[in-house]
Amino acid sequence: MVELVKEPTETSQAILNQHAHGTVISLQLCVKHQAPMQQVSSVRAVENHGLEGDRHAMPDSSRQVLLLAQETCVEYDFPIGAIRENITTRGIDLMALPQGTVLEIGDSRLQITKECEPCAFVDGVRPGLREELQHKRGMLARVVRGGVMRVGSEIRLMEQDSQP
């Protein structure tokens, strides 16, 4: 487990450098309660709100966007979007990122707020998946700079002390 730090340290900076780039491979929006996620090719992130068109977008929430690594989908054998992530990534170890890390995706910037704990919904995808995804369901973020992101957008980690 990664220790969360507010100030960059040699250890946290090494983690950031090791996991500094990734790619968006899928974008999903929740447009209605309990409806299947809608895949989109691009989406506008709205500062301090979330993703345009997503029913979970809320001002001042620490849960505006959910990011999940495709590698997790493959390892635990469930389809992209099945556990209701908004952004599916490849090549970046999301779970190793400290709270406060800023990701630049397209024109937007997201700040990691916390780990997403698996809820009972996850067991509806497959019995036992909730337990399997403890500390692996993805990371929640808030939008600190609005902009457009697309499938294929590069994900870049910003320096810990950089401004949104």
Q: In this structure, which amino acid lies at residue 16? A: L
In a domain, 9, yes or no: no
Give the model confidence (pLDDT) of 108-129 as tens digits.
Answer: 999 999 999 998 889 989 999 9
71 close to 90: Cβ distance less than 8 angstroms: yes
Q: What is the CATH number of the domain that holds 75?
A: 2.40.33.20
* Count of beta carbons in the 10 Å neighbourhood of residue 1: 7
SS3 content of the chain, % helix, strand, coil (to 5): 15, 35, 50
In a domain, 164, yes or no: no
Average model confidence (pLDDT) for the chain? Answer: 88
Looking at residue 120, its pLDDT comes to: 86
Give the model confidence (pLDDT) of 60-91 as tens digits.
Answer: 999 999 999 999 999 999 999 999 999 999 99
Extract the tokens encoding 23. 């790619």
Alpha helix ranges (H) inside the chain: 10-18, 70-75, 120-125, 129-132
Range(s) of the domain holding residue 150? 21-157
In a domain, 59, yes or no: yes
Phi, psi of 61 (to 5 degrees): -85, 145
In a domain, 122, yes or no: yes
In a domain, 8, yes or no: no
Closest CA to 137 of 73, 91, 90: 73
Q: Residue range 33-37: average pLDDT? A: 85
* Better pLDDT: 115 or 36: 115
Q: What is the pairing mode between strands 87-90 and 65-69?
A: parallel
Looking at residue 55, its pLDDT comes to: 93
| DSSP state at residue 92 | -
pLDDT at 163 over 50: no
Exposed e or buried b per residue across 114-150, where buried means at least 16 C-beta atoms within 10 angstroms of its C-beta: ebbebeeebeebeeebbebbeebbbbbbbbbbebebe
The pTM score is: 0.85
In a domain, 11, yes or no: no
In a domain, 2, yes or no: no
pLDDT at 18 over 60: no
d(CA 80, CA 129): 14
Give the model confidence (pLDDT) of 86-105 as tens digits.
Answer: 999 999 999 999 999 999 99
Domain count within the chain: 1
In a domain, 96, yes or no: yes
Give the model confidence (pLDDT) of 47-60 as tens digits.
Answer: 999 999 999 899 99
